[in-house]
Amino acid sequence: MTTTQTETQVQQWTNLAQQLRVDSIRCTTAAGSGHPTSSMSAADLMAVLLTSYLHYDFDNPKNPNNDHLIFSKGHASPLLYSLYKAAGAISDEELMTLRKFGSRLEGHPAPVLPWVDVATGSLGQGFPIGVGIALAGKYLDKLPYHVWALLGDSEMAEGSIWEAFDHASYYKLDNLVGILDCNRLGQRGETMHGWDTALYAARAEAFGWKAIVIDGHNYDEINQAYAQAIQANGSPTLIVAKTIKGKGVSFLENKNGWHGKALNKEQEEQALKEIPYVRSMIFPVQKPENRQPAPEPAKQELQLPSYDGKEAVATRKAYGDALQALGAANPDIVGLDGEVSNSTYAEEFAKAYPDRYFEQYIAEQQMVAAAVGMSVRQKIPFASTFAAFFTRAYDFIRMAAVSRANIRLCGSHAGVSIGEDGPSQMALEDLAMMRAVFGSTVLYPCDANQTAKLVAEMANHDGIVYMRTTREKTPVIYGPDEEFTVGGSKVVRQSNGDQVTVVAAGITLHEALEAYDELQSEGITIRVIDAYSVKPMDEETILAAAQEVGNKFVVVEDHWPEGGLGDALLDVFTHQDGPLPQVVKLAVQSMPGSGTPAELMEEAGISAHHIVEAVKVLAR
Amino acid sequence: MTTTQTETQVQQWTNLAQQLRVDSIRCTTAAGSGHPTSSMSAADLMAVLLTSYLHYDFDNPKNPNNDHLIFSKGHASPLLYSLYKAAGAISDEELMTLRKFGSRLEGHPAPVLPWVDVATGSLGQGFPIGVGIALAGKYLDKLPYHVWALLGDSEMAEGSIWEAFDHASYYKLDNLVGILDCNRLGQRGETMHGWDTALYAARAEAFGWKAIVIDGHNYDEINQAYAQAIQANGSPTLIVAKTIKGKGVSFLENKNGWHGKALNKEQEEQALKEIPYVRSMIFPVQKPENRQPAPEPAKQELQLPSYDGKEAVATRKAYGDALQALGAANPDIVGLDGEVSNSTYAEEFAKAYPDRYFEQYIAEQQMVAAAVGMSVRQKIPFASTFAAFFTRAYDFIRMAAVSRANIRLCGSHAGVSIGEDGPSQMALEDLAMMRAVFGSTVLYPCDANQTAKLVAEMANHDGIVYMRTTREKTPVIYGPDEEFTVGGSKVVRQSNGDQVTVVAAGITLHEALEAYDELQSEGITIRVIDAYSVKPMDEETILAAAQEVGNKFVVVEDHWPEGGLGDALLDVFTHQDGPLPQVVKLAVQSMPGSGTPAELMEEAGISAHHIVEAVKVLAR
């Protein structure tokens, strides 16, 4: 690659940029909505990238050697799709389906298109995910591909962007290039820092990046910047490009009020007159070299830990044990944790497989983004922190589902049963949050053997898979040979004379068993179901209980009453004909403080004692 | 204030710091858990602050002139409580109740103590909330109080911290002082940047702050730094203090493995031998000057907008109209928006009351934090963005509930009915997320008059109050004199012959009305309930329908099936004796793409047509 461009190159870049602008206008006008002006500002930047720097095999999007191009400013999707057209990947006809029902060309990029790694459109996410892909490239694949992330200046206000800056330099990701399309104008006026490109450069440098400030419409400067970026050694590069929103059309350039607005037919006609544009040209994109990802050790048979039940074991400990075992069996397993690995027990994996463990410090958004990035490269990421702190990354989890990512999350220290640390550390909404993620799986084991088996299940399960673990040690009630599956449950107590069904999971299952004993001694028998698969729930077993025991249920959970195990149970009955059973929900109803786990569970009304009372009222 | 300390001062600081260290050890040892070493590193910093710089009336925590001291590193609560003891606010006896059931001294600070503004313990939150308080101080109260935020170096990895840096300098908050207790050690080892104090200073400076690097155990340097900080003009100050975790006790100093760990009795004895410590002394704290907050215009009678029903109006538009009206009536109303005010219509308030509107750019965490800070100063904040993007701030919303904050949030563009923009912009989990917040209120109006009335209700309602608004224009079905209350509902269609009850809210209410007409024409009558108060739900009306109509319900919502309106409805029946009715849930079951609102609602199975089908099956 020479850094002095030829006239031919400049002509090609010009042709392509103009085509990208024209197509961005045409497809949004056809759609009647969309973001042409946000596309036009970055057209020159992308024209040079596509034709002179990007290495990508459009015929084989899964080629491990491909560069990754992520539009962190996802609203510039018209530009991205116009690039795909220019590369010959989609037809002009398809381009004109933008934003129409059934089209692959959604309002914001989504991986329904094979060249889109991840969904963007919630600002400040594509870039951190790019960090994850770059981590995989540098440390796992060990391939020379680059990750190019196009950023908007509005999204520089998102904290997640700075988590990404921090992590990228910490991990010396010289395979990552951020391209900041600094067009000054956000949705409703000037952005926080307008055209202060020096400010962005200074911040990037303070965060350990190399920063290059350019005129984003000057091909020479763009070309030089990319040339420098790919020579980077030991640090990532941010190209801060001063650009003009709506560049190329006089009545759009640097004008407020044109964000997210398509031109009407007349405006389109007028605009196209201003842009010298011949026809739909195809611009060849360089294919990457054909290298192999770094060899991995062979997969081995999984040897899960087992627990003999002689002593209580925290499910979080079993998570760590099992993750380490998975790591031995499968070299694709990757560990991530938010600076609490000695609490979540991810440290066991970290110590055993330091090459596949990436410390994420206290940056939960970046952690989930890194997991999504790993998923793009077909790794099997397990990311952990306190369950409460996954709330920090909910937008990332939501978007991971839109990205059809395959990530595994483990949240420890759930519920009031953590005790003395108090409510800031207690996850009491995580089940609600994780159930309300498209296609998610939510697991909540109660003992160590069950946890180990379910961790193994997680590795084999697609989508967003969440496990909730418990801080306290709990008795081991299952043998190491017992099987547990996503969508399963266990009936742990039953008889012909059951009067009420108690549904519990995790820590409350042990309360239910204590309640069973107490009720038994008073001549009342209950069925106890361990609903460890909160989503999907084992409908068959629940409905069978309704039939066999009668329509009386108590559901008990260490969670707010909304959206958790209780609501999941109720939902089962909406899938049947006929009325629902009587259900009593026991859940945390008041704001907890500090105390011992037992004190707090008692106060919350979810201890054995409360289950006994609830059953007695129902059994009358 | 002289910047040259006297010997007396140094002796006082020394005495206090030693007492703080001793008390931090004593109370955690008594508790058997907690964070003594994270407290000891900051003892010198806090000793100088308490005795020489803080202005605080401990007898009157609501004094508007008080400084605000926020432990963003909430796990240093032993130090905070020891400060309260030193100031004479709590007794040694109470200090020894740390972390015990029923004590006000929780594991992490919470406003059950009158001197604690906000709960901390989820790292990276106290500091952004401090930005909110400082905004109120500088621009609303116009009082010279300072906000002092103690930060840990671990939390510098949180993106929210950098949102706070960005906003504080943007708004020139020279009344804000960050004190970074850079003790190098996090929970599981060294933090991301260890003792690289220059790095933190450079970053703060790049973010427009003044930064002062000091030895956090050198009283002269500490004193000079505070003296400089309170002289700041036009920019906030970060004091980067290099400190030693466990400072003062040889076997704790700079030792890994001592995070969040109390000393046992013997270790305590050994430690106390190393710290010259006399007795429990009281250290007087300067009271603030007695000034009045900036005068506000008188409250006026509220003149809500009204809509005559001649044309459809989007509820988001009515939100903006009503917020502007509220602004006229009540000078305590404050507006905040995440750079989408022309979509949420918060711009109407922004234009009318620019002095009380604070643009938050695309930084949703900082936006919610600013709202919480405003709530600390008794303002009535309304913060808005796309409903989907409140997921970005879920941890802040969760913690706002622990803080007992009073904040109002409005999320626009909910559900698949936004149309072409696609799933990244569609809130389909916001009801689940917001229901699962302690003590929250969740409102979802369907028309403009209802919206206006409910916005007025929000202003008068404590806790976390959330309103979901719709992008599309919807018919105005209620007159301007109709009343709507938190916890209410409206039966919009009913007769004696109703066969099924349809429960809807927001956009789906209109689908339900269309279904009503269609069913009516086929001789089937349904009851239609507008459950605009999703939480709390109007149980009385729902249970009356169950009794009068019979036990057949269809619930329809533009939301995932989990945790939303459907689950809220089901929950109502768990509060009654006897079995639940048959409930059919209509909700979004597959990942939407782009399309028209009508196409997407049809595909999602939540259109009138689907309601008709569901009713017919039930009515058989």
Residues A392, B395: C-beta atoms closer than 8 Å: yes
What are the mean pLDDT values of chain A's consecutive 10-residue runs (620 residues total)? 73 96 98 98 98 98 97 98 98 98 98 98 98 98 98 98 98 98 96 98 98 98 98 96 98 95 97 86 95 89 96 98 98 98 98 98 98 98 98 98 98 97 97 98 98 98 98 97 98 96 98 98 97 98 93 96 98 84 95 97 97 94
Contact A170 B192 (CB under 8 A): yes
Nearest to A432 among B187, B436, B561 (CB): B436
For B392, nearest residue in chain A (alpha carbons):
A395
pLDDT score for A4: 61
| Residue in B574, B582, B620 to test binding to A, most A beta-carbons within 10 Å | B574
From CA A152, how far away is CA A40, in angstroms rounded? 12
Flag if B391 and A395 touch (Cβ within 8 Å).
yes
B-chain residues near A561 (CB < 8 A)? 571
> Which run of H or E residues covers position A186?
strand A185-186
Q: In this complex, do A191 and B560 lie within 8 Å of one another by their Cβ atoms?
A: no
Q: How far apart are CA A21 and CA A209, in angstroms?
A: 31
**B147-152 and B176-182: which strand pairing?**
parallel
Residue of A nearest to B586 (CA): A574
The answer to whether A361 contacts B435, with C-beta atoms less than 8 Å apart, is no
The nearest CA of chain A is from the CA of B495 a distance in Å of 23
pLDDT tens column, B426-458: 999 999 999 999 999 999 999 999 999 999 999
- The answer to whether the beta carbons of residues B14 and B108 sit under 8 Å apart is no
Chain centroid to CA B65: 23
First-last CA distance in chain B: 83
- State phi, psi for B302 to the nearest 5 degrees: -75, 125
pLDDT at residue number A131: 98
Question: CB-CB: which of A159, A424, A593 is closest to B121?
Answer: A424
- Binary contact (B582, A583; C-beta < 8 A): no
**Is A108 in Cβ contact with B157 (below 8 Å)?**
no
Question: For B118-133, what is the mean pLDDT?
Answer: 98
DSSP letter assigned to residue B578: S
Asked if B505 contacts B556 with a C-beta cutoff of 8 angstroms, the reply is no
Chain B: give the shortest CA distance to residue A7, in Å. 39
Orientation angle between helical segments B364-376 and B159-170, nearest 10 degrees? 70
pLDDT for residue B1? 43
Compute the nearest-CA separation of B285 from chain A (Å): 29
Rounded-to-10 torsion of CA B178, B179, B184, B186: -70
ipTM: 0.98
Among chain A residues, the shortest Cα distance to B561 is held by A436
Q: Please say if the pLDDT value at position B575 is more than 90.
A: no
Residues in chain B within 8 Å Cβ distance of A192:
166, 170, 361
Per-residue pLDDT band for B115 (boundaries 50, 70, 90) equals very high
Interacting residues of B620 by C-beta distance below 8 A, sequence separation 6+ = none
Which chain B residues touch A340 with a CB distance below 8 Å? 187-188
CB contact under 8 A, B110 and A593: yes
What is the C-alpha separation between A262 and B25, in angstroms, rounded?
Answer: 64
Cβ(B105)–Cβ(B131) below 8 Å: no
Q: What are the catalytic residues of A?
A: 364
Catalytic, B364? Answer: yes
- Mutant choice from B345, B348, B429, B552 vs A, greatest count of A C-beta within 10 A: B429
Rounded to the nearest angstrom, the minimum Cα separation between A454 and chain B is 23
Among chain A residues, the shortest Cα distance to B153 is held by: A362
Mutate to test the interface with A, among B71, B131, B362, B554 (most CBs of A within 10 A): B362
pTM, rounded to two decimals: 0.98
Task: Please indicate whether, in this complex, the C-beta atoms of A343 and B394 are within 8 angstroms of each other.
Answer: no
Alpha-helical segments (H) within A297-447: 315-329, 341-344, 347-352, 364-376, 394-402, 430-435
- The pLDDT > 70 percentage for chain B reads 99
> Catalytic pick from B268, B348, B364, B429?
B364
> Which residues, 6 or more positions from B486, have their beta carbon under 8 angstroms from its beta carbon?
B441, B443, B454, B457, B461, B465, B533, B536
The confidence band for B226, taking pLDDT boundaries of 50, 70 and 90, is: very high
Would you say B137 and B145 are in contact if contact means Cβ atoms under 8 Å apart?
A: yes
Q: What is the pLDDT of residue A1?
A: 43
Taking an 8 Å cut-off on Cβ atoms, the answer to whether B159 and A161 are in contact is: yes
pLDDT at residue B576, rounded to an integer: 80
> A105 to chain B nearest CA, in Å?
8
Contact B574 A562 (CB under 8 A): no
Chain B residue with Cα closest to A200:
B206
- Residues of A whose CB is below 8 A from B343: 187-188
In the numeric block, which tokens belong to residue A145? 């591909």
**Beta carbons of A570 and B574 less than 8 Å apart:** yes
Mean pLDDT, rounded, of chain B? 96
Mutant choice from A125, A158, A238, A386 vs B, greatest count of B C-beta within 10 A: A158
Cα A61 from chain centroid (whole Å): 21
Contacts of B577 (CB under 8 A, 6+ apart): A582
Cβ-based contacts of B391 with chain A (< 8 Å): 394-395, 398
Min Cα–Cα distance to chain B from A100, Å: 5
A433 CB neighbours in chain B (<8 A) are 394, 429, 432-433, 436
Q: Calculate how close chain B gets to A411, using CA atoms only, in Å.
A: 14
B560: chain A residues, CB-CB within 8 Å: 436-438
B163 contacts on A by Cβ (under 8 Å): 157-159
Across the interface, whether the CB atoms of A192 and B203 are under 8 A apart is answered no
Q: How far off is chain A from B510, nearest CA to CA, in Å?
A: 22
Question: Which chain B residue has its CA at the smallest distance from A202's CA?
Answer: B206
Residue A124: list chain B partners with CB under 8 A: 362
Q: Is B423–A106 a contact, with Cβ atoms under 8 angstroms apart?
A: yes
Specify whether the CB–CB gap between A369 and A407 falls below 8 A.
no
Contact A361 B551 (CB under 8 A): no
